[in-house]
Structure 1
Amino acid sequence: MEWRAVVLIGSKYRIACAVFLLSLLVRALWAGLAYVTPISDFNGYDTLAWKWISTGDFGLEGRVAYRTPGYPGFLALIYLVVGHSWKAAGVVQALLGALTSGMLVLLAATVLSVRASMVAGLLHTFSPAALAYVPILASENLAVPLVVAGLLCLTVADRRTGVIRYAAVAGSGVIMGLLILVRPIGVFMLPGAVLLAAYSPQKHAWRLGPALVFLGLTAAMLAPWLVRNHLAGFGAGTLSTTGGLNAWMGNNDAAVGRGYSKIAQSALDLSGLGEKERDVAYRDAALTWVRAHPGRYLALCRTRAVRLLGVEPDVWAAKYLVPTRENDAAMRARHRRETGNRSVSGSLLSRARAVQSRN
C-alpha cells in the first residue's frame, strides 16, 4: 500500500511536468505568432506601466487610485528588463499559463485523482479562451495563476502539520494579497479562503492559528497600497476608485445584452469632480437606478450569473481567437468606432463583427 502511494505521488509530479512542458510549447508558439495591439483597458495597463517606469508616478489622467498596482507593476518589471515590448509580455504570460496548467494537475491530483489531474491539465492547456488571452495585456493572465497557486497552498496546508502547514498558509496569504492588488474583485474570494485556512475537511476541525497567519500576511501585502491611498485623501480601506463606475455601467437604462453598457459612462456629466467624488457619484447613480428599477436589476443579475458560469463565450477570447494582423486591425477599428470615432472603414467593421461572431 505504501509502495502504491509512492508511485502515485511520483506519477502526479511527472504528469505535472509533462503538462507544463506541453502547455509551454503551445503557448510560446501562440505568443510568438499572435499579433495583438492593446486597446481599451489593455492599452490603459500598458500606458500606466510605461509611465510608471518613465516618470516614477503611478496614475493616469489625474487618477491615482483608479487601477491597483499589481498588473501594471508586472508589466513594468518586464519592460525594465527587455524594454517596451508587448511580445515579451506575451511570452512571460505564456510561461505563467504553462505554470497554471502544471499547478492544476497538482491541485486536481490532491483533491480528486491522478487521472482527473491529467484531464484538468490538458483541458487548460488547450482551452481556447485561455490561449486567446496569452498575447493580450489583461490582468487575468496574472490573476488566474495566483488563484490556482493560492488554492494549491491551502490544499497543501490542510494535509500537512507543523512548519510546513504554516509556511503553506503564509504563502497563500501573500498570494491572496497579490491577487487583490492585481484584481480587486479578489476581495470577494477572501471569506472562502479564510474558511479553507481555518477548517480542515480531512480532520473536521477548526484551526485558528493558520487563519490568523493567512489574514495577517494578506493584510501585510495590502497595507502599503492602502496607506498610500489614505495619504492621498481617499479614506481608509480604499483599494480602487473603479467600483462606482463599474456599478453604474452595470446598472443603467442602457445595460442590456451582456449585463452592462460602457455608453453610460458618458451619460453623467462629472467633469468638475475629483477622482474620489466621481467614484461616489457613479455609485450613488447606480444605487438610485437599482431602487427605481428592481425588476430590471434582477434581470441583469440573471444575465451576469449566466456569464459568471461561463455559459456565454468570453468576448475578448472571441475577438482574438485568431490573432492575425488583419483581424487585429479590424478589432482596433471597431474599438475606435465604439469610442466615438465615426471615420472608420466599413469593411474593417464588417470583418470585426464576422470574426467575433464566428469565434
Structure 2
Amino acid sequence: MSTENDLSPDERPAPSLRRWALIVFGLALLLRIVHVWQLDSAPFGALRMGDSTSYHQWAEEIAGGNVIGDEVFYQAPLYPYFLGMVYATVGESVTTVRVVQSIMGSAACVLMMLACWQWFNARTGIVAGTLLSFFAPAIFFDGLIQKSVLDLFFLSLLLWLLGQWSQSPKPRTTIFIGVVTGGLLLTRENAILLVPLLLFWQWMRTSEKRWQPITLCLAGMFLVLFPVALRNKIVGGEFHLTTSQFGPNFYIGNNPNADGTYRPLRARRAHPKFERQDAFDIAAASLGKTPTPGEVSSYFVQQSLNYIKSKPTEWFKLTARKFALTWNAVELVDTEDQYTFAEWSLPLTLTQRVAHFGALVVLSALGVCVTWQQRKEHWFLHAAILIYTASIVMFYLMARYRFPLVPFLIPFAAAGIVNVRDYWKQASAKNRAITIGIVLGVGVFSNWPLVPIEPMRAATLYNIGAQLDLEGRGDESIPFYEASLKLRPDSVEALYNLAHAESRRANFPTAVDLYRRVIELSPQYIDAHNNLGLTYANMRRFEEAEQSIRKAIFVNPKSAASYNNLGSIFAMQSNFDQATKHFTRAAEVDENYAEPLVNLGMISVQKKEFEQAQKHFQRALEIDPNHLNACFSLGNINAEQRDFRAAIQWYQRCLEINPNFQQAHQNLQRAEALLRGN
C-alpha cells in the first residue's frame, strides 16, 4: 500500500518508529490530561448528564455482578461494559474515567500514526498522529462519559490492522480484524454498513483462496457478536445482533417534523430513561397490543417509510440538509457541547480555533487530490468515507455520530500536508486549478454557517443546571439557567426550571413572573400552570392559585396531578370537603398514583378517623412501597394508638428508605423509649 517514496518494513529504523510513537502518545496525553485537570475544577466537572447517566447506572450494575442483564439491549452495550470494568478495577469517579479514556485516546493517536505509516509513509504517519493529538473534537470526546472514545480506538486499530494485513495477510491478523470490527459494531451500530466493504476489499487484495480471509474475518466477528445475539434471544426472546433501537432512531431522522438533528419522540422527553419507554408506548398504542422490541423497531421503520413514500421531495430536502450538516464545521450538541467546555479548558480553547472539523475536511480534500494517482491503493478509505456518510444521513446528526468519519479523514489530511509541495511542482496547470477549485469549494461548503453556536451553548448550560437540580444542588443551578437564558431568552425549559428553583428558595414573586413567561410561550404547558398555582398558594393567594390549577385541568382533564394539586390548595385552606373531592378524583383518574391517597389519609388523620387513614396509606404503599410519607404517617398513627411495636417498624422502614430522615430518627427513639417504659 506504499508509494515509491515509502520506507519498506526492513528499511524503517525501529528506534525512530518507537521514538515517534512515544512523542505522539506523550503529546496527546499531555493535552488530554490538562483538559481533564481543568474540567475537574469546573462547576460541572463531576456531573454525568444525558446518556452518561444511563451508562453510569448500567456500568454500576455490571461492576456489581449483574453482567447479563434482563432486557434486550436498547443502547450499544460495549461502552457500559468497558465502564463497568473501569469501575471494578480503578474506581468510578468521573475524573478516573476521564484519565483512563485519555490514555485510550492517546493510544488511538499512536495507532493512527502506525496505520498511516503503512498506508502512506513514515512522514504521513507522524503528521497523522500529531493531527489527531491536536484535533479539538477528539480531545473533547475523550473527556466525555460517552462511547466515542471506543469508536476512535477501534477504527484506528482497524486501519492499522488492515495496513498490517495488506503487507502480510496472516490468518491471525485476519481473525483479529474481524474481532475488532465486531467490537466496533457493539459501540457504533451503523458501522455495519462498512462490513461488506471490508470483505470486498479483502477479496480484491487476495489473488488465491479468496474465501479464506473473508471466512476468517466473519469468524472473528462471530466470536464477538454471537454471544450478544444469543444473550438478547435468551433475555428477550428475539435475536438482535446488537440492539433494538434501529427503528426509533431511523424515525427520529425521517419523519414530517424532522430537521436533521435529534428531536425526542415526545416533547421535553430528551433523556435516555424516557426514550425506550416512549418508543414502546407509542408503538403499543398504535398496534393495539404489547409489542416485542423487534415489533417496536419495525413499527417506526414502517412509519418512516410511509413518510418517505408520501412526501419524497420533502424527504429529499431533509436528506440534503443532513448531508450538509454531516460535513459542516459546527459540532452539533448532544447533551454537552464542545464550545461551552472550552471556556474551562485551555487545550480546547486553543485547538478548536484551527484543529476543527471544517479545517480537517479542507485538508482531507487536499489530500485526496494530491494522492489521486494512488487511488487504487487507497480506494478502501475513499469508499469508507462515502459509506459511513450514508450511514449517518440515514438517521440524524450529532457531533459524536459523525466523529467516526475522523479516522478516515485524518490519513488524507496528513497526506495532503506532506505531499502538497511535491504535487504542486509536478502537477499540470489544469490539475492545479482543479485542486484549488475543489479545495476552495469544499472549504466554503464545510465552513458555511448552517447552525448557530449560541443555542447549543444555551442547551448545554441548561443541561448542567438541570443535572445540578437532580443532584439536589438547586442554588448552584440558577446561574446556569440564567446564563442559558441570556443566550436563548425564549427557552421554555430554562425558564420553567429557573422558576422552579426560585420557588424552592421561597422567592415567590420572581417565580410567578417566570411561570407566567413560560405560559406565554407555551400555553399548553400543564406543569407550568400547576406550579404557578402552587406558588400562588404559598403566597396565600388562593383564588389565583385555584384559577391556575383549573387552567391546567382545562388543558388536560385527565391530569391526576392537577386534581391532586387542586385538592392541596383546598386543604391548605382547611376546606377538607372540597379537598377530599379533588383528591378522590385524582385517585380515580390514575389508579396507580399514590400521592392523592396519601393526602386523603392526611385528611382522615386531621379528622381523627385513624382506621380510614390507615386504609388510604396502606393502599398508597401497595402502589409505591417506598412512599416515605405513607410509612411515616402509619408510624405516627400507631404511636398515637400506643402500638409502639408497629410504630417502630414503620419508622425503621422510613429509615431504610431515607437514612437521613431526622424526624423518623426522633420518633423512633421516642417510640422505643415509650415501649421500654411500658
**Corresponding residue for residue 144 of structure 1:** 152
Asked which structure has the greater RCO (Cα within 8 Å, sep 6+), the reply is 1
Is the 1:71–1:182 contact (alpha carbons within 8 Å) kept by the matching residues of 2? Answer: yes
1:31 aligned residue = 36
Match 1:333 to one of 453, 465, 484? 465
Q: Deviations over 1:181-210 (max 9, x none)?
A: 12222211211221233332xx77773211
Which is further off, 259-268 or 173-182? 259-268
Q: How big is each residue's C-alpha offset from its partner over 1:225-244, in whole Å with a ceiling of 9 and x where there is no partner? A: 10111223453344211111
User: How far apart, in 2, do the equivalents of 1:211 and 1:310 lie?
Assistant: 36
Question: Would you say the 8 A contact 1:199–1:206 is kept in 2?
Answer: no
CA distance in 2, matches of 1:295, 1:336: 44
Partner of 2:282, secondary structure, is coil
1:23-78 Cα distance to aligned partner (Å, 9 max, x none)? 1121122223212522222222112111233361655xx85320232110000000
Query: Which residue, 236, 250, 254 being the options, matches 2:253?
Result: 250
Contact 1:249 1:255 in 2 (8 A): yes
Change (3 A) 1:148 1:352: farther
Q: 2:201 aligns with which of 167, 171, 196?
A: 196
Which deviates more, 224-233 or 302-311?
302-311
2:59 to 49, 60, 76: 49
**1:310 Cα shift?**
5.0
Query: Who is 1:105 aligned against?
Result: 113
Hey, what's the Cα distance between the residues in 1 that align with 2:104 and 2:65? 28
Aligned residue type for 1:348: A
Distance 2:486 2:127 in 1: 35
Q: TM-score, normalised by structure 2?
A: 0.46
* Counterparts of 1:314 and 1:125, CA distance in 2: 21
* Paired residue type of 1:73: Y
Pick aligned residue for 2:84 from 62, 76, 87: 76
Gap regions ≥5 residues in structure 1? 338-343, 355-359
Quote the Cα distance in structure 1 between the aligned partners of 2:284 and 2:341.
34
The residue type paired with residue 106 of structure 2 is: A
Q: Distance in 1 between matches of 2:256 and 2:468?
A: 23
Q: How far apart in 2 are the matches of 1:274 and 1:86? A: 37
Task: Describe the shift of the 1:115–1:282 C-alpha distance in structure 2 as closer, same or farther (beyond 3 A).
Answer: same
User: What is the rounded CA distance, in whole Å, between the counterparts of 2:216 and 2:324 in structure 1?
Assistant: 35
1:302 aligns with 2:320: yes
Q: Is the 8 A contact 1:251 1:290 kept in 2?
A: yes
Distance in 2, Cα, partners of 1:183 & 1:87: 24
> Normalized against structure 1, the TM-score is what?
0.83
Work out which of the residue numbers 479, 485, 490 in structure 2 matches 1:350: 485
| Cα deviation digits, residues 86-111 of structure 1 (max 9, x gap) | 21111111011101111111111111
Matched-pair contact (CA < 8 Å) for 2:72–2:243 = no
Aligned match of 1:357 = none
Match for residue 175 of structure 2 among 149, 170, 182: 170
- Report what 1:129 is aligned to: 137
Mark the CA change 1:329 to 1:312 in structure 2 (over 3 Å): closer, same or farther. Answer: closer
Alignment RMSD: 3.2
Match of residue 101, structure 2, among 93, 97, 102: 93
- Cα deviation for residue 282 of structure 1 reads 2.2
2-structure distance, mates of 1:36, 1:310: 30
Q: Distance in 2 between the 1:69 and 1:349 partners? A: 33
Percent of residue pairs identical = 20
Which has more radius of gyration?
A: 2
Counterpart of 2:258 in structure 1: which amino acid?
A: A
Q: Secondary structure at the match of 1:235?
A: coil
Aligned length in residues: 338
Alpha-carbon distance in 2 for matches of 1:289, 1:312: 28
Partner residue in 2 for 1:262? 264
Q: Which amino acid aligns with 1:96?
A: M
Change (3 A) 1:225 1:80: same
1:209-268 CA distances to partner (integer Å, 9 max, x unpaired)?
112111111012111110111223453344211111101111122211x44422557697
Q: What are the within-5 Å matches in structure 2 for residues 214-233 of structure 1?
A: 214-233=217-236
Q: CA deviation at 1:279?
A: 2.4
- What is the SS of the residue equivalent to 1:37? coil
Identify if the C-alpha distance between structure 1 residues 314 and 14 changes in structure 2 by more than 3 Å, giving closer, same or farther: farther
Could you tell me how far 1:351 is from its partner in structure 2? Answer: 6.0
- Compared CA separation, residues 351 and 88, structure 1 to 2 (3 A): farther
Give the secondary structure class of the aligned counterpart of 2:64. Answer: helix
Greater mean alpha carbon deviation, residues 284-293 or residues 70-79:
284-293
